[in-house]
Amino acid sequence: MEAAICGYAKYPDDALCKLINDFILLLQSAQAQDGYLYTYNQLIFPESRWQNLQIEHELYCHGYLIEAAVSHFQVTGESKFLTVAIKAADLLVNTFSGKGSLHTPGHQEIESISSNTNLSSHKPNLWGTLSGLLICRRLLLNIPIYA
């Protein structure tokens, strides 16, 4: 999605814009009331969330969703996709804030959005939650922090 948005920014095209907007509508309709959006689990294991963060891609996909939404907002100035991202970010803060190392994801994408100043200005608690996950990963893997 982010690649399509970046492509649209460089080469505006009505057909691509329609595809992006249609996909945003699809994401809006698939997102759970509380902000959760991981359709594999929603369809196959609807009662199973955040069960195996070292293997599953729930947080990884939420990270890319949020990055794409921020890109969309930066390119178009429209907030409809950013609203989906903020709802997901609220869920992440409510679910993971202060949880510790047992809730450290196996895929690092989610923490990389913590440096996004556009989203951080909308959701200041998100930075603390995601940087906490990054520190937990460092402690679990015994690796230095580079950022």
Give the global pTM: 0.77
CB 81 within 8 A of CB 24: yes
Does the pLDDT at position 58 exceed 60? yes
Alpha-carbon span 98 to 82, nearest angstrom: 25
**What is the rounded CA–CA span in Å between residue 34 and residue 88?**
8
Sequence-separated (6 or more) residues with CB below 8 Å from residue 132: 96, 97, 98
Section 27-31 average pLDDT: 98
Tell me the percentage of the chain whose pLDDT exceeds 70: 66
pLDDT at 75 over 80: yes
- Would you give the distance in Å from CA 2 to the centre of its chain? 12
- Provide the pLDDT confidence category of residue 97 given band limits of 50, 70 and 90: confident
Query: CB 113: neighbour CB atoms within 10 A?
Result: 24
Does residue 132 have a pLDDT over 60? Answer: no
Please answer whether residues 61 and 107 qualify as being in contact, where contact means their C-beta atoms are separated by less than 8 angstroms: no
Q: What is the mean pLDDT of residues 41-64?
A: 85
* Of residues 90 and 107, more confidently modeled: 90
Q: Tell me the pLDDT of the chain averaged across its residues.
A: 79
